[in-house]
Amino acid sequence: MPFTKMHGIGNDYIYIDCMERVPENLPQLAIEMSDRHTGVGGDGIILICPSECADFKMRIFNADGSEARMCGNGSRCVGRYVYESRLTDKTTVTLETLSGIKTLRLHPDRQGNITSVTVDMGIPVTAPVEVPVRFNAPRMVSENVPTSQGPVKITAVSMGNPHGVILVDSADNAPVEILGPELEHHVIWPDRANIEFVEVVNTTELRMRVWERGSGETMACGTGACASLVACVLNRLTERHAIIHLLGGDLEIEWNPDDSHVYMTGPAETVFNGTYRRLL
Protein backbone atom coordinates (compact mmCIF):
# COMPACT_ATOMS: atom_id res chain seq x y z
CA MET A 1 0.00 0.00 0.00
CA PRO A 2 1.56 3.33 -1.08
CA PHE A 3 1.85 6.12 1.50
CA THR A 4 3.43 9.55 1.90
CA LYS A 5 5.15 10.59 5.13
CA MET A 6 4.56 14.26 5.95
CA HIS A 7 4.78 16.50 8.99
CA GLY A 8 3.53 19.83 10.25
CA ILE A 9 6.34 21.26 12.44
CA GLY A 10 7.31 17.78 13.56
CA ASN A 11 3.78 16.40 14.10
CA ASP A 12 4.26 13.54 11.69
CA TYR A 13 1.60 11.39 10.08
CA ILE A 14 1.44 8.74 7.39
CA TYR A 15 -0.82 9.93 4.56
CA ILE A 16 -2.77 7.39 2.54
CA ASP A 17 -4.51 8.34 -0.73
CA CYS A 18 -7.96 6.73 -0.43
CA MET A 19 -9.54 8.44 -3.46
CA GLU A 20 -10.12 4.98 -5.00
CA ARG A 21 -10.41 2.65 -1.96
CA VAL A 22 -10.19 2.66 1.83
CA PRO A 23 -8.12 -0.08 3.58
CA GLU A 24 -9.84 -2.36 6.12
CA ASN A 25 -9.45 -2.28 9.88
CA LEU A 26 -8.16 1.29 10.09
CA PRO A 27 -7.54 1.36 13.87
CA GLN A 28 -5.24 -1.68 13.61
CA LEU A 29 -3.55 -0.18 10.52
CA ALA A 30 -2.90 3.06 12.46
CA ILE A 31 -1.33 1.15 15.35
CA GLU A 32 0.86 -0.94 13.02
CA MET A 33 2.03 1.86 10.73
CA SER A 34 2.64 4.38 13.53
CA ASP A 35 5.01 2.07 15.39
CA ARG A 36 8.43 3.75 15.25
CA HIS A 37 10.26 0.38 15.42
CA THR A 38 8.20 -2.14 13.47
CA GLY A 39 6.17 0.21 11.26
CA VAL A 40 6.70 3.39 9.27
CA GLY A 41 6.66 5.56 12.40
CA GLY A 42 4.38 8.49 13.09
CA ASP A 43 1.85 10.15 15.40
CA GLY A 44 -0.89 8.39 13.43
CA ILE A 45 -2.32 7.95 9.94
CA ILE A 46 -4.37 10.37 7.84
CA LEU A 47 -6.63 9.28 4.98
CA ILE A 48 -7.41 11.52 1.99
CA CYS A 49 -10.83 10.48 0.67
CA PRO A 50 -13.47 11.76 -1.75
CA SER A 51 -16.29 13.85 -0.27
CA GLU A 52 -19.86 14.60 -1.29
CA CYS A 53 -19.93 17.94 0.53
CA ALA A 54 -16.40 19.30 0.14
CA ASP A 55 -13.40 19.02 -2.18
CA PHE A 56 -11.91 16.22 -0.06
CA LYS A 57 -12.50 14.33 3.19
CA MET A 58 -9.82 13.84 5.86
CA ARG A 59 -9.91 11.03 8.43
CA ILE A 60 -7.30 10.90 11.16
CA PHE A 61 -6.39 8.00 13.45
CA ASN A 62 -4.03 8.50 16.40
CA ALA A 63 -1.14 6.12 17.05
CA ASP A 64 -3.32 4.14 19.50
CA GLY A 65 -5.89 3.50 16.78
CA SER A 66 -8.49 5.98 18.08
CA GLU A 67 -10.15 8.12 15.41
CA ALA A 68 -9.97 11.88 16.03
CA ARG A 69 -12.39 14.53 14.85
CA MET A 70 -9.82 17.05 13.55
CA CYS A 71 -6.09 17.57 13.06
CA GLY A 72 -4.69 21.04 12.48
CA ASN A 73 -1.17 20.10 11.39
CA GLY A 74 -2.61 17.26 9.35
CA SER A 75 -5.04 19.50 7.49
CA ARG A 76 -2.20 21.73 6.26
CA CYS A 77 -0.34 18.64 4.99
CA VAL A 78 -3.50 17.42 3.23
CA GLY A 79 -3.71 20.81 1.50
CA ARG A 80 -0.13 20.48 0.28
CA TYR A 81 -0.66 16.83 -0.74
CA VAL A 82 -3.76 17.36 -2.88
CA TYR A 83 -2.24 20.38 -4.67
CA GLU A 84 1.18 18.87 -5.34
CA SER A 85 -0.37 15.51 -6.33
CA ARG A 86 -2.47 17.42 -8.88
CA LEU A 87 -5.70 16.18 -7.26
CA THR A 88 -6.70 19.85 -7.44
CA ASP A 89 -5.34 23.04 -8.96
CA LYS A 90 -7.31 25.24 -6.56
CA THR A 91 -5.52 27.24 -3.86
CA THR A 92 -8.68 27.44 -1.74
CA VAL A 93 -9.71 23.91 -0.80
CA THR A 94 -12.54 22.66 1.41
CA LEU A 95 -11.95 19.64 3.65
CA GLU A 96 -14.71 17.55 5.23
CA THR A 97 -13.80 16.39 8.74
CA LEU A 98 -15.72 14.85 11.64
CA SER A 99 -15.80 18.38 13.14
CA GLY A 100 -17.26 20.02 10.02
CA ILE A 101 -15.96 21.46 6.76
CA LYS A 102 -12.70 23.41 7.03
CA THR A 103 -11.45 25.88 4.42
CA LEU A 104 -7.77 25.82 3.54
CA ARG A 105 -5.89 28.65 1.77
CA LEU A 106 -2.75 27.27 0.13
CA HIS A 107 0.24 29.61 -0.34
CA PRO A 108 2.35 28.37 -3.28
CA ASP A 109 5.83 29.80 -3.88
CA ARG A 110 7.09 30.83 -7.32
CA GLN A 111 7.97 27.18 -8.10
CA GLY A 112 4.42 26.10 -7.22
CA ASN A 113 5.43 24.39 -3.97
CA ILE A 114 3.07 24.91 -1.04
CA THR A 115 5.26 26.56 1.59
CA SER A 116 2.46 27.33 4.05
CA VAL A 117 -1.26 26.90 4.53
CA THR A 118 -3.88 28.92 6.41
CA VAL A 119 -6.74 26.88 7.88
CA ASP A 120 -10.04 28.31 9.07
CA MET A 121 -10.39 26.18 12.20
CA GLY A 122 -13.91 27.38 12.96
CA ILE A 123 -15.40 28.72 16.20
CA PRO A 124 -14.01 27.39 19.51
CA VAL A 125 -16.25 26.15 22.32
CA THR A 126 -14.87 26.96 25.79
CA ALA A 127 -15.43 26.28 29.50
CA PRO A 128 -13.20 27.02 32.54
CA VAL A 129 -12.91 24.00 34.87
CA GLU A 130 -10.93 23.27 38.02
CA VAL A 131 -9.69 19.71 38.36
CA PRO A 132 -8.56 18.29 41.76
CA VAL A 133 -5.68 16.14 40.57
CA ARG A 134 -3.28 14.16 42.79
CA PHE A 135 0.29 13.92 41.48
CA ASN A 136 3.88 14.65 42.46
CA ALA A 137 5.16 17.16 39.93
CA PRO A 138 8.69 18.57 39.97
CA ARG A 139 9.13 21.92 41.80
CA MET A 140 9.59 24.14 38.71
CA VAL A 141 5.94 24.66 37.91
CA SER A 142 3.84 27.77 38.47
CA GLU A 143 1.77 28.29 41.60
CA ASN A 144 -1.16 27.29 39.40
CA VAL A 145 0.16 23.70 39.27
CA PRO A 146 0.79 22.60 42.91
CA THR A 147 3.48 20.02 43.54
CA SER A 148 1.35 17.64 45.58
CA GLN A 149 -2.42 17.45 45.80
CA GLY A 150 -4.64 20.27 44.82
CA PRO A 151 -6.82 21.66 42.07
CA VAL A 152 -5.27 22.34 38.69
CA LYS A 153 -6.95 25.23 36.83
CA ILE A 154 -7.71 24.10 33.30
CA THR A 155 -9.41 26.01 30.50
CA ALA A 156 -11.34 23.50 28.42
CA VAL A 157 -11.51 24.39 24.73
CA SER A 158 -12.99 22.39 21.87
CA MET A 159 -11.59 22.97 18.40
CA GLY A 160 -13.77 20.14 17.16
CA ASN A 161 -11.58 17.93 19.34
CA PRO A 162 -11.21 18.34 23.13
CA HIS A 163 -8.37 20.25 24.80
CA GLY A 164 -7.45 21.06 28.39
CA VAL A 165 -5.12 24.09 28.60
CA ILE A 166 -2.94 24.58 31.71
CA LEU A 167 -0.88 27.73 32.31
CA VAL A 168 2.65 27.09 33.62
CA ASP A 169 5.68 29.26 34.41
CA SER A 170 7.93 27.22 32.11
CA ALA A 171 6.93 24.97 29.24
CA ASP A 172 10.40 23.39 29.33
CA ASN A 173 9.85 22.29 32.94
CA ALA A 174 6.15 21.44 32.67
CA PRO A 175 5.20 18.00 34.08
CA VAL A 176 4.00 16.78 30.65
CA GLU A 177 4.77 13.08 31.17
CA ILE A 178 3.23 13.10 34.66
CA LEU A 179 0.14 15.28 34.26
CA GLY A 180 -0.43 14.62 30.56
CA PRO A 181 -1.62 11.01 30.78
CA GLU A 182 -3.38 11.63 34.09
CA LEU A 183 -5.43 14.47 32.63
CA GLU A 184 -5.90 12.83 29.20
CA HIS A 185 -7.91 10.11 30.94
CA HIS A 186 -9.53 12.28 33.62
CA VAL A 187 -13.22 11.64 34.25
CA ILE A 188 -14.15 15.23 33.30
CA TRP A 189 -13.62 14.34 29.60
CA PRO A 190 -16.26 12.00 28.13
CA ASP A 191 -13.84 10.97 25.32
CA ARG A 192 -10.39 11.77 26.84
CA ALA A 193 -8.64 15.00 25.83
CA ASN A 194 -5.45 16.61 24.50
CA ILE A 195 -3.58 18.48 27.26
CA GLU A 196 -1.57 21.67 26.59
CA PHE A 197 1.03 23.22 28.92
CA VAL A 198 1.34 26.91 28.04
CA GLU A 199 3.91 29.50 29.06
CA VAL A 200 2.99 33.11 28.23
CA VAL A 201 6.16 34.76 26.83
CA ASN A 202 4.41 38.08 26.15
CA THR A 203 1.02 39.28 24.88
CA THR A 204 1.78 38.05 21.35
CA GLU A 205 3.91 34.96 22.02
CA LEU A 206 3.28 31.62 23.73
CA ARG A 207 5.50 28.61 24.30
CA MET A 208 3.60 25.33 24.39
CA ARG A 209 4.09 21.61 24.90
CA VAL A 210 1.31 19.09 24.41
CA TRP A 211 0.32 15.63 25.55
CA GLU A 212 -1.92 14.43 22.71
CA ARG A 213 -4.85 12.07 23.21
CA GLY A 214 -3.89 8.76 21.62
CA SER A 215 -0.31 9.75 20.72
CA GLY A 216 1.49 11.01 23.84
CA GLU A 217 3.78 14.05 23.74
CA THR A 218 4.13 15.25 20.16
CA MET A 219 6.36 17.89 18.62
CA ALA A 220 3.33 20.05 17.86
CA CYS A 221 -0.47 20.12 17.83
CA GLY A 222 -2.33 22.51 15.54
CA THR A 223 -5.71 22.31 17.26
CA GLY A 224 -3.85 22.52 20.57
CA ALA A 225 -2.09 25.73 19.52
CA CYS A 226 -5.49 27.20 18.63
CA ALA A 227 -6.98 26.06 21.96
CA SER A 228 -4.00 27.58 23.81
CA LEU A 229 -4.42 30.98 22.15
CA VAL A 230 -8.15 30.96 22.91
CA ALA A 231 -7.52 30.04 26.56
CA CYS A 232 -4.96 32.84 26.94
CA VAL A 233 -7.31 35.40 25.42
CA LEU A 234 -10.10 34.24 27.76
CA ASN A 235 -7.70 34.60 30.70
CA ARG A 236 -6.77 38.11 29.46
CA LEU A 237 -3.12 37.14 28.98
CA THR A 238 -2.57 37.70 25.26
CA GLU A 239 -3.90 39.51 22.24
CA ARG A 240 -6.06 37.60 19.74
CA HIS A 241 -3.21 37.22 17.23
CA ALA A 242 -0.03 35.48 18.43
CA ILE A 243 2.90 33.25 17.55
CA ILE A 244 2.92 29.88 19.28
CA HIS A 245 6.36 28.30 19.78
CA LEU A 246 6.11 24.50 19.85
CA LEU A 247 8.88 21.91 20.12
CA GLY A 248 8.81 21.39 16.34
CA GLY A 249 8.42 25.00 15.21
CA ASP A 250 6.05 27.98 15.18
CA LEU A 251 2.43 28.52 14.26
CA GLU A 252 0.62 31.83 13.70
CA ILE A 253 -2.82 31.79 15.31
CA GLU A 254 -5.53 34.43 15.15
CA TRP A 255 -8.92 34.37 16.91
CA ASN A 256 -10.69 36.81 14.63
CA PRO A 257 -13.01 39.19 16.58
CA ASP A 258 -15.25 39.77 13.55
CA ASP A 259 -16.31 36.19 12.77
CA SER A 260 -15.05 34.49 16.00
CA HIS A 261 -13.24 31.97 13.80
CA VAL A 262 -9.72 30.80 14.68
CA TYR A 263 -7.20 30.90 11.81
CA MET A 264 -3.99 28.85 11.90
CA THR A 265 -1.07 29.44 9.51
CA GLY A 266 1.96 27.22 9.27
CA PRO A 267 4.14 24.96 7.12
CA ALA A 268 3.58 21.46 5.75
CA GLU A 269 6.49 19.26 4.71
CA THR A 270 6.74 16.10 2.61
CA VAL A 271 9.43 13.70 3.87
CA PHE A 272 9.23 10.58 1.64
CA ASN A 273 6.95 8.24 -0.28
CA GLY A 274 6.89 4.52 0.44
CA THR A 275 5.05 1.23 0.11
CA TYR A 276 3.76 -0.58 3.19
CA ARG A 277 3.17 -4.33 3.39
CA ARG A 278 0.49 -4.96 6.02
CA LEU A 279 1.32 -7.42 8.82
CA LEU A 280 -2.28 -8.70 9.08
Ligand X SMILES: N[C@H](CCC[C@H](N)C(=O)O)C(=O)O
Q: Is the dihedral angle over the CA atoms 157, 141, 192, 117 positive or is it negative? A: positive
CA–CA gap between residue 89 and residue 102 (Å, rounded): 18
Q: Does the protein bind ligand X through residue 34 (CB under 6 A)?
A: no
CA–CA gap between residue 279 and residue 248 (Å, rounded): 31
Residues paired with residue 9 on neighbouring β-strands, in sequence order: none
Beta carbon nearer to ligand X, 71 or 253: 71
**Which residue of the set 18, 53, 77, 221 is catalytic?**
221
SS3 at position 154: strand
Q: How far is the CB of 256 from ligand X (least distance, A)?
A: 19
Q: Check residue 84 and report its DSSP letter.
A: H
CA–CA gap between residue 183 and residue 211 (Å, rounded): 9
**Does the annotation mark 232 as catalytic?**
no
The verdict on whether residue 25 carries a ligand-binding annotation is no
Beta carbon nearer to ligand X, 141 or 211: 211
CB-CB neighbours of 224 under 10 Å: 33
Question: Cβ contacts of residue 14 below 8 Å, gap of 6+?
Answer: 3, 4, 5, 33, 34, 40, 42, 44, 45, 46, 276
Residue of 11, 97, 158, 238 that binds ligand X (CB under 6 A): 11
Q: How many residues bind ligand X (CB under 6 A)?
A: 17
Please name which of 241, 249, 242 lies closest in space to residue 73, comparing C-alpha atoms: 249
Q: Does the protein bind ligand X through residue 118 (CB under 6 A)?
A: no
Site string (49-78) toward ligand X, x via CB under 6 A: -----------x-x-----x--xxxx----
Site string (208-247) toward ligand X, x via CB under 6 A: ----xxxx-----xxx------------------------
The verdict on whether residue 72 carries a ligand-binding annotation is yes
CA–CA gap between residue 225 and residue 243 (Å, rounded): 9
Which residues, numbered 165-194, are part of the site for ligand X (CB under 6 A)?
194
Q: Check residue 81 and report its DSSP letter.
A: H
Q: How far is the CB of 103 from ligand X (least distance, A)?
A: 16
**Does the annotation mark 71 as catalytic?**
yes
Beta carbon nearer to ligand X, 164 or 222: 222
Binding-site positions read 11, 62, 72-73, 161, 194, 212-213, 222-223
Show which residues are catalytic: 71, 221
